[in-house]
Every structure is written in C-alpha cells, then in structure tokens.
C-alpha cells in the first residue's frame, strides 16, 4: 500500500471507531473487593464519584490500593511487576473485583494465580483481553513516570501504545500481530540456513503490520505534543517550551529500508528497523531533555505527559478517565499544583473519580472542599472525618 493510501485507510478505520465510541458516559468505581492482594487480606469498600484522598504512614497500603484499581481496569500492575508479586505472601492466588460504571454498570471479577487466570464481566468469562481492555479509561501518575523521560525508549513506545490501545480497539491486535511476526522473523534470522521464502513471507507480514502501527503513532504524536505543551506551561515554573517529536526508525519506505539492511540483519540475527525501534523525543527550547534537563524538569515533563494522556482520553472517549495519583501532589509546589487543579476539577465535574495518596504532612489542602478522606492503616481503609 502506498503511504498516501495507507494514511487514508488508517484515518477511515480510526474514524469509524471514534464515531462508534462517541457516547457520553461517566466512568467510576462503585465498589471494590480485594482478597489476598498484597497487604489487603480482605477489603470490601463502596466508593462515590469525586475526589478520594488516601492518607497514612509509610508502608500501610496506599499505593497497593491504587495498584488494585489499576489492575482491575488494565489487568496489570503499574509498578511493572507480574501477578505473583501482588499475591499476598503465603497465599496461592489473588482476587480483585468491583462494580464499575461506564456506559452501563458492570461487575468485573479477576482471579490470578500462577496456575490460573480468570476474568469475567457480569458473570461471563472474557476469553481475549483485547475484548476487555480500554473499557475503563484510567491514567496513573506515579514516581515511575520519570522513566518516561530518562528510561529506555521502549517505555516511551509503551506510552504511545497504551494510549492507542485504550482509544482504538484495532490497535492492540495489530501490535500483537507485529510483535509475533517480529519474534518469528528474528528467530529465523538467528538460524543459519533458514528458508528464504519463509523469511520473505514474515518480512511481508512485518511490513503490512508495521506500516499501520507507524501510521497510528504518527497521527497520535502531534496531538499529544500539543496537549503536553499546554499542560507543561501550566505546571512549569520556568519559561521553556516543551516539544515532542516522534522519530520513526523508518525514514521513507519500510520495504526498501528492510531490503537495504538485509545483509547486516543476517550477521546480527535480528530486525534492525521497524516500529520496535521508534523513539519519542522531548525537547525544552530545542535542547534534548534527556541529556540536558534537570531532575525537576524531567519530572515536570513526565507529569505533563500524563496530563496530556488524561486530556486526550477525555477528548476521544467522551468521558473523563479515573485518575490515580500516587504521591505526586506532595512533590509539587503551590504554583504547579494550581496548574494541575483544572484537570482534577474537570474529572470531578464529569462524574469520574480521582484517587490520591499522600502522607499527613504533604496533602493538598486546597482540594479539601470536595475531598473524601480515607485513613489507610495496615491494609484497612477507614473513612476519616
């Protein structure tokens, strides 16, 4: 497919999805049930829409609580660990369940053990995660976000992929198709004397899926760039402009460039170009933030990226995502917190939820008017007056 036709194809597919998803609805968690999840032996809790502030001393279960909510929506931890880490020490499996309001109210149940994984919605087993993911838009702000700026490029690709998967149901299967083909192709490249016809067929498949991935990412990047720049202006105490640039490893034509690298690929035993090598670059006044930015500047970019994610989801899904904010508010001074407040208020007004954790000495008191306060103590939550 020529780049122009491919572009049109992606546009029409995305547009169809966009239109079919355009319904106004509120997303929030009505209740949460945990069994043997980290330091929560048993928790049954009802939750209203709006702001929820979780305070408590260190190591009481504040982050674990956010992680459980995230697990329910995304089926994974935002701490980048597998299910085994989240099972309570000494137990064989964990359970996370809840009632979630989206277009309708749904009962979700998720059981995870090393032997078994069971997900059901309204009592019906979900066979493919792609049917489930993206139903409950959610954005998490946590200390690991700093890796978006100073970590490996795969973390930035994951940021784009996560956002595309949440807003376009065709994206995740496409990404899985590309990753499977890439693995198979790399295995062939490593094996001496492998059949060139088989390698060719994997190359064709890689090109088809890869071109579509790049097309989706190319469309998303400038939109995120604008939203992140605006967010950055609001929370930055300095005058620099944030610029985000999507840099694909494919410069012109995937097929031609793969043909050009074929000899080197055989020597090295892996695919040298493709969306798996793409990069997202951040600049502050034209200087690469990863190389020249201070810790504080990198942290501000990371928060701006997450704010952009929330704004983008709000725009595309016609609903405000649930926000999980782990210890981030406490890090911001008053001015920068003020830049964060419009987003939080919009989420609250849209009938969604914000869950924020902090310790007693750094909680954002300017939000107290609407706040529901919970005291977290050794795996228990008590509503604080």
Burial-class residue 360 by CB neighbours within 10 Å (0-12, 13-18, 19+): exposed
How does 90-121 read in b/e, with b if 16+ C-beta sit within 10 Å?
Answer: eeebbbbbbbbbbeeeeebbbbbbeeeeebeb
Total chain residues near Mg ion (CB under 5 A)? 2
Provide the minimum distance between the beta carbon of 71 and ligand ATP in the complex, in angstroms, as a whole number: 13
Listed ranges 2-10, 86-94, 237-245, 306-314: which one lies at the site for ligand ATP (CB under 6 A): 86-94
Picked from Mg ion, ligand ATP, none, the partner binding residue 58 (CB below 5 to 8 A depending on kind) is ligand ATP
For position 52 contacting ligand ATP by CB under 6 A, the verdict is no
Picked from Mg ion, ligand ATP, none, the partner binding residue 59 (CB below 5 to 8 A depending on kind) is ligand ATP
Provide the minimum distance between the beta carbon of 51 and ligand ATP in the complex, in angstroms, as a whole number: 18
- At 137, which helix (H) or strand (E)? none
- Other CB atoms within 10 Å distance of the CB of residue 286: 8
Please, which residue, 86 or 250, has the CB nearer to ligand ATP?
86
Among 1, 59, 105, 198, binds ligand ATP (CB under 6 A): 59
For position 113 contacting ligand ATP by CB under 6 A, the verdict is no
Structure tokens at 119: 């997900």
**How many CA atoms lie within 13 Å of 358's alpha carbon, on the beta-carbon side?**
18
- 91-130: which residues touch Mg ion (CB under 5 A)? none
Residue 14 CB partners (closer than 8 Å, separation 6+): 168, 216, 219
For position 38 contacting ligand ATP by CB under 6 A, the verdict is yes
Angular region, 80: left φ>0, alpha ψ -120 to 50, beta rest: left
How does 239-276 read in b/e, with b if 16+ C-beta sit within 10 Å?
Answer: ebebbbebebbbeeebeebbeeeeeebeeeeebbbbbb
For position 63 contacting Mg ion by CB under 5 A, the verdict is yes
Residue 2 CB partners (closer than 8 Å, separation 6+): none
For position 55 contacting ligand ATP by CB under 6 A, the verdict is no
Q: Where are the beta strands (DSSP E) in the chain?
A: 28-37, 40-46, 50-55, 93-101, 105-113, 117-121, 124-125, 138-141, 242-247, 279-284, 287-288, 322-326, 353-358, 371-377, 380-384
Cα–Cα distance measured from residue 73 to residue 153, given in angstroms and rounded to the nearest whole number: 25
- 356-375: which residues touch ligand ATP (CB under 6 A)? 359
For position 62 contacting ligand ATP by CB under 6 A, the verdict is yes
Please, which residue, 63 or 300, has the CB nearer to Mg ion?
63
Provide the minimum distance between the beta carbon of 139 and Mg ion in the complex, in angstroms, as a whole number: 17
Site string for Mg ion, 21-60 (x = CB under 5 A): ----------------------------------------
Please, which residue, 246 or 374, has the CB nearer to ligand ATP?
374
Instruction: Tell me, rounded to whole angstroms, the distance of Cα 123 from its chain centroid.
Output: 26
Among 14, 63, 271, 297, binds ligand ATP (CB under 6 A): 63
Provide the minimum distance between the beta carbon of 46 and ligand ATP in the complex, in angstroms, as a whole number: 21
For position 20 contacting ligand ATP by CB under 6 A, the verdict is no
Total chain residues near ligand ATP (CB under 6 A)? 17
- Other CB atoms within 10 Å distance of the CB of residue 79: 17
Listed ranges 61-69, 203-211, 226-234, 278-286: which one lies at the site for ligand ATP (CB under 6 A): 61-69
Interacting residues with ligand ATP (CB under 6 A)? 38-39, 56, 58-64, 85-89, 359, 376
Interacting residues with Mg ion (CB under 5 A)? 62-63
């Amino acid at each position: 497919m020529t780049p122009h036709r491919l572009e049109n194809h992606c546009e029409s597919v995305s547009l169809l999805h966009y239109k079919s998803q355009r319904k106004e609805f509120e997303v929030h968690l009505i209740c949460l049930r945990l069994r043997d999840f980290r330091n929560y032996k048993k928790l049954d809790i009802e939750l209203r829409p709006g702001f929820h502030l979780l305070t408590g001393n260190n190591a009481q279960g504040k982050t674990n609580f956010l992680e459980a909510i995230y697990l329910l929506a995304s089926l994974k931890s935002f701490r980048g660990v597998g299910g085994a880490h989240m099972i309570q020490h000494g137990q064989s499996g964990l359970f996370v369940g809840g009632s979630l309001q989206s277009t309708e109210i749904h009962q979700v149940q998720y059981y995870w053990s090393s032997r078994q994984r069971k997900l059901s919605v309204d009592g019906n087993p979900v066979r493919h995660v792609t049917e489930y993911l993206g139903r409950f838009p959610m954005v998490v702000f946590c200390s690991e976000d700093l890796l978006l700026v100073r970590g490996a490029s795969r973390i930035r690709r994951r940021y784009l992929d996560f956002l595309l998967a949440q807003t376009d149901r065709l994206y995740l299967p496409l990404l899985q198709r590309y990753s499977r083909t890439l693995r198979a192709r790399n295995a062939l490249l490593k094996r001496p004397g492998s059949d060139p016809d088989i390698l060719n067929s994997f190359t064709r498949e890689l090109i088809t899926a890869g071109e579509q991935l790049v097309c989706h990412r190319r469309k998303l990047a400038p939109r995120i760039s604008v939203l992140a720049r605006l967010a950055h202006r609001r929370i930055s105490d300095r005058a620099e402009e944030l610029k985000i640039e999507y840099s694909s490893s494919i410069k012109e034509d995937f097929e031609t460039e793969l043909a050009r690298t074929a000899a080197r690929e055989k020597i090295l035993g892996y695919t040298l170009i493709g969306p798996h090598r793409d990069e997202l670059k951040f600049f502050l006044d034209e200087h690469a933030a990863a190389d020249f930015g201070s810790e504080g500047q990198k942290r501000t970019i990371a928060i701006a990226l997450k704010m952009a994610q929330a704004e983008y989801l709000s725009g595309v899904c016609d609903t405000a995502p649930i926000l999980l904010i782990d210890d981030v508010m406490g890090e911001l001074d008053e001015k920068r917190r003020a830049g964060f407040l419009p987003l939080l208020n919009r989420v609250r007004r849209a009938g969604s939820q914000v869950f924020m954790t902090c310790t007693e000495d750094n909680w954002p008191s300017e939000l107290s008017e609407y706040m529901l306060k919970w005291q977290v103590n050794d795996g228990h939550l008590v509503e604080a007056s």
